[in-house]
Chains A and B, each alone.
Chain A
Amino acid sequence: MRDKVIDIQNLVKTYQISEEVSVHALRGISLTIARGEFVAIMGASGSGKSTLMNILGFLDTHTSGKYILDGVDGIALDENQKAEIRNRKIGFVFQGFNLLSRTSALENVELPMMYRGDAEPREMKRKARELLAMVGLAGREHHHPNRLSGGEQQRVAIARSLINDPAIILADEPTGNLDTKNSDEVMKIFTRLNKETGITIILVTHEPDVANYTDRKVVFRDGQIMEDAPIAKAAPRPGRKRP
């Protein structure tokens, strides 16, 4: 058994809207993800998958239960320590890309390393260039996001997520704003990353085609896990033309 990157036991998240009204976004879920897994989290909107992503990403705290990321229990950490975990252990890829505007692709990629504080500038530049080349954007280093297509922006975001060698990549609907061609390309990059570097990738999506790129599917409904199963690899490999 490979070691656990994510270990969740009985995780509960309740939003207190007012004194009487509370929303149970997560109703006691348990989930473990091993190092090197490529997991799709699926479910309709409101099913709790985004809440889980926020908790996984140390952007939000759970109400009760246990969540351990790469050996770190987040519940006792202060804001600064959480920022450090986000910085070093987690690579975020968002639906809306979330690149800094009017900042070059290269500088966007460098940013997490800059916040890490111990980066040597030349090494930082070298690594950022290497990552951009890996996502197929060599030569576009100095382009600003407004001169990049959606797919290209998302590839910059992937490069950014990798610069601090995180334990996991959290991708929240990474293909949600992309057309078929570009989402295929992004998913191929994720697949390649997972296979070649063995990095753990957790991806939220509601598109089955996107989920088919992954190895394991966790389906949420009403704050609970409905289904947790490996993706059948006998089926034709994804990447086929969708209608």
Chain B
Amino acid sequence: MNFQNLMRTAIRSLGRNKMRSALTSLGVIIGVASVIMMVGIGNSARVAVREKIFTYGSNAMGVESKKRTFTMSDVEAMKRAIPSIKFISPMVGKTQVTAKYQGAILYSRIRGVNNDFFKIKEWPLKYGRYFTEQEILSREKIVVLGNTLLDELFGSINPVGKVMLINNIPFQVIGCLAESGQAFSGKDQDNLIVMPYTTAMVKISGRNVFNEIFISTFNEQMVEKTEASVRSFIREDRGLAPGTPDDFNITTSKEQLQMAEYISQTLAMLLAGIASISLIVGGIGIMNIMLVSVSERTREIGIRMAIGAKKSDILLQFLIEAVSLSSSGGTVGIIIGLGVYYAITVGVGWDFLFSTFSVVVAFLFSCAVGVFFGYYPARKASNLKPIDALRYE
């Protein structure tokens, strides 16, 4: 029998059991839809993380020294010595501070910095303003809040001008940062209190030294060179002998980016892997229904064989039925998967990334599921002896 007729025969017999065919395809629909969705979400998440890291400054780097501290003169000397540094800010940090406002309380962390910090992080304001140089010099008790503090302590009120307690010391709120969301690590980046480093040294840490410095360069290409310059500057400053290891760490966005990419890629693969299990379950569903169909239609097979159907005709007929089930399920699954993925990206605010490749692969894979799981029942049908099949009641 030619292919066109085989196709017609297969489609017609599927049409006779519309409900059953639809339910059988459902497994593949769900499987393909979830694979498409998961791969899409994985890609979007990767792009989102990448953008976020770039937002935090693709030119940025952080220097951290746990054992030995930095002073403000280190920062100034560094800025003078290395011309590719555009912005530089000290960071007097403290975690687990209590922030109170009218009975509401939240544990937060303090970042004592200069105004360069906002430029390095490219962090816009939601309300109010940044610090003035005068305020930094005179160690004003003022703060710029992260969005989480705004939500938790002030609710919908504009906090600018309000006075709050940080570790029971009153501070005036002068600004509030725009929301930036969770970091890829899950850390809430908006739960922070920014104050002048001078204030933080006096009121919070009680020391005029600090452990971290933030730096940004004029462009991304300078990052590597600047990193090297900063490294040799500190080593020289501290008199580290050649060959001894650094007693400080420099982290660049590039490293963070690679890390994030690796994590999100692994996650996407994991998700797709889990989703493809449901595709296999869908395939087993097809095999099951095809086996039922073969035994139900034994007599039909017998009739077809008696009037001249070859083994290959019967095999192809059932194989085409299985592949039709799985590929139509695949097509519907692709549409649903893209739809849900689109809805999620709109909801979360990510980019919708249409990938022709993954659609083609999903479709071919669903066809392959049909061939793989349809072959056994089809073979069983084609191996029936015509005389036994004809007698079957």
Contact = CB atoms under 8 A, between A and B. Distances in A.
B241 interface: no
A84 B308 contact: yes
B7 to A, nearest CB: 12
B305 interface: yes
A87 interface: yes
Contacts of A57: 306
A170 B300 CA distance: 19
Given A59-B386, A98-B303, A100-B303, A83 B2 contact: no
A88 B1 CA distance: 14
Contacts of B12: 103
Interface stretch (B57-65, B215-223, B310-318): B310-318
B311 A115 contact: no
Contact of A83 (B16, B303, B309, B387): B309
B157 interface: no
A227 to B, nearest CB: 27
B16 A116 contact: no
A54 B310 CA distance: 17
A115 B1 contact: yes
B4 to A, nearest CB: 9
A114 B303 contact: no
A89 to B, nearest CB: 10
Contact of B390 (A59, A116, A117, A164): A59
B312 A80 contact: yes
Interface in B352-393: 386-387, 390
B304 A111 contact: yes
Contacts of B312: 80
Majority DSSP secondary structure for residues of B touching A: helix
A59 B306 contact: yes
Nearest to B299: A98
Contact of B308 (A54, A99, A116): A116
A84 B310 contact: yes
B307 interface: yes
B96 interface: no
Contacts of B1: 114-115, 117
* Chain B contact patch, size range: 20 to 34
A212 B271 CA distance: 76
Contacts of A115: 1, 304, 307-310, 313
Nearest to A111: B307
Contacts of B168: none
Interface string A79-96: 110011011100010100
A163 B282 CA distance: 42
B307 A92 contact: yes
Contacts of B308: 83-84, 86-88, 112, 115-116, 164
* Chain A contact patch, size range: 20 to 34
A92 B306 contact: yes
Given A111-B304, A115-B1, A83 B311 contact: yes
A155 B61 CA distance: 89
Nearest to A124: B5
A160 interface: yes
A209 interface: no
Interface in B80-136: none
A169 B303 CA distance: 15
Contacts of A80: 310-312
A38 B138 CA distance: 123
Given A112-B308, A115-B304, A115-B307, A98 B313 contact: no
A111 B8 CA distance: 12
A207 interface: no
A110 to B, nearest CB: 9
Given A115-B313, A116-B308, 9 more contacts: A59-B386, A83-B310, A86-B305, A86-B307, A98-B299, A98-B303, A100-B300, A103-B12, A114-B2
Interface of A: 54, 57, 59-60, 79-80, 83-84, 86-88, 92, 94, 98-103, 111-112, 114-117, 160, 164
20 contacts: A59-B386, A59-B390, A80-B312, A83-B308, A83-B309, A84-B310, A86-B308, A88-B308, A94-B390, A98-B299, A98-B302, A99-B303, A100-B304, A111-B307, A112-B308, A114-B2, A114-B5, A115-B304, A116-B308, A117-B2
Interface of B: 1-2, 5, 12, 16, 299-300, 302-313, 386-387, 390
